[in-house]
Structure 1
């Protein structure tokens, strides 16, 4: 399948019929309205800083998944919309913190919050959005609060481990994949789980969507890590090579560093050295983009997406199931 720019919207995927598209579009509009209302603040500066990334756009991948999972049950009622908004605000909050950690200058094609304001403001606004998300989820009942708390713990654990090298004696690939499960997989799993849960699905379907979401999230992040290397800034709205500059060992880098081919010596030297200078980073990106390690990592991402699709097998046939299946393919064929 040809690569496409941007994470695919369910609204444009095969399997999404006109009625499904219309319901999802209406649901997204309700989610957007709720997010805008809840991030507003009586202090104009806080309101502006809190809505900065919201107004910068974004794929709304997680709330869309919540709405789509709800199609397996009674559809997107008020609780589903609230759950979708809570998940998206949790994601947005994490982006404020990510940009501080990565010292990023650009997010979604706009200045990052830490570049526009400062690190302290970005961190505090991220905290504020986490609090707002928790406030929304609290109205959904104690089980939802428990899930939100467990999700947040795993998300933070993944971010902490992502910021640290693989401990001696551990397999780097296993360590990396565990980071992805927590850093990205868990929140996407919660998005899917909430959708089924608050649309009245039975326990087996809720668990199916949780597992599908976690595998989908891993495939999503594997693809994101490849995009950080392969794409240009105008395709992603982010600075390419951010992971390399930060010294993060993503799957292609792990494969290169494990190579015993003498031809890889220069790239290994770059990847284990200081990539702060632009020339060094550009050289590393150029060598890595054409390295077989990229194709190996792509194959792994496709395999994980296929495992996500396999989880859907017990579900009855429907437009929603077809769209979920296509979504797993779409997240690993995008270029931005």
Structure 2
């Protein structure tokens, strides 16, 4: 009998609904993870409580917990039929740790990017201060580390390596490419560090803690890395092609913050190849973006250029890599769902 749990899955996981036991196990796990996330961020100090819960309570897609749980199910001996067991408490701890790590990076990113909004609410540093937001992120990082402490040396080491990649990705984004660097390659390296590494780790640890083989662990990691690249590239395109209601961010945030995302890098390539339209659009992008009207004009101009289609094509290549990473697995409802999710990532607003 299907349990009644108010958990929304992102599109792309529709195939799982045909497998009642698997679907219920996933929803039950996600509901418990949501409770565990809330329990993890409880403080006697009112300011610590309010600030750390600010973005958690605002929602989020919970992609990392979903990938963690599904990757763990790949190790279930009954995955082929979908008659899988509910993942253990250790899988939930990994999922909580990964989501808390992601959450903490949002606090720090918003300070560095001077963002106004996150997940449809006022950014933490805007509601309190830069220092408070940074410290709230640090508190959340500490909680994430605590969740992993009892899961074994490899889990702790993997989280440590991932944390380093996250910071390096942010560092590379902050300093920008060196003179000899290709801007697009630099951009992809930033995304690999800031986004793909955490999804790769989520998938890897899910398979690891479920007792998966080393081959399965590496397959899961490769899937997570590639789908993470596709997910972030798609988000960056959506920044100029969708409304704030869809993305949870103010449209044109990346433009306003002068973040050199994929559409802008492709525009610069086009301008260097004597594309007059691209050159005209870059005059808006590189000009004043202090008013809503200026940002709106730049957003509409970028969205109207063929580089958007080029950007989606490149993003689709990463989604295809994610799907191919699963080739070594037997057919199963979980494999199908992961495949469909990768395909959904590059079909959003497209």
TM-score range, shorter chain: over 0.9
* Aligned CA-pair RMSD: 1.8
The answer to whether residue 148 in structure 2 is matched with residue 137 in structure 1 is yes
- Equivalent pair of 1:163/1:248 in contact (CA under 8 Å): no
The answer to whether residue 298 in structure 2 is matched with residue 287 in structure 1 is no
Which runs of 5 or more residues in structure 2 are unaligned?
1-7, 77-85
Contact 2:200 2:222 in 1 (8 A): yes
Could you say what secondary structure the match of 1:156 adopts? helix
How far did residue 116 of structure 1 move?
1.8
| 1:149-180 per-position Cα deviation (integer Å, ceiling 9, x unaligned) | 10000011111112233211211111111111
Residue 66 of structure 2, aligned match among 64, 67, 70: 64
CA contact (8 A) 2:75 2:216 kept: no
Pick one of 282, 286, 297 that aligns with 1:268: 282
Decide which of 167, 178, 181 is 1:156's aligned counterpart.
167
SS across alignment from 1:51: helix
Equivalent residue for 2:325, pick from 288, 302, 311: 311
Report the CA distance between 1:332 and its aligned residue. 1.6
1:252-305 C-alpha deviation (Å, 9 max, x unpaired) = 111111122123222122233332333332221111111001000001111110
2:341 is equivalent to residue 330 of structure 1 = no
Within-5 A mapping of 1:11-22:
11-13=13-15, 17-22=19-24
* Equivalent residue runs for 1:66-85 within 5 Å: 66-74=68-76, 76-85=87-96
How much does 1:16 deviate? 6.0
* Aligned residue number for residue 50 of structure 1: 52
Could you tell me which of 107, 123, 135 is aligned with 1:96? 107
Q: Which moved more, 1:186-195 or 1:276-285?
A: 276-285
Note the C-alpha offset of 1:7: 8.1
C-alpha separation in 2, matches of 1:165 and 1:113: 25
* Alignment CA distance shift 1:10-1:33 (3 Å): farther
Look up the match of 1:3: none
Distance 1:137 1:9 in 2: 29
Deviation of 1:323 after TM superposition, in Å, equals 0.7
Q: Distance in 1 between matches of 2:300 and 2:117?
A: 21
State the Cα distance separating 1:205 from its structure 2 match: 0.2
How many angstroms does 1:88 deviate by?
0.3
SS at match of 1:163: helix
* Per-residue CA distance 1:207-259 (angstroms, 9 max, x = gap): 00001100010000000000111111122221111111121211111111112
Task: Confirm or deny that 1:200 pairs with 2:202.
Answer: no
With normalisation by structure 2, the TM-score equals 0.90
Counting matched residue pairs gives: 331
Distance 1:83 1:107 in 2: 24
Per-residue CA deviations over 1:44-75 (Å, capped at 9, x if unaligned) read 22112111111111111100110010111145
Task: Tell me which residue corresponds to 1:277.
Answer: 291
Q: Choose which of 121, 128, 135 in structure 2 pairs with 1:117.
A: 128
> Which TM-score applies when normalising by structure 1?
0.94
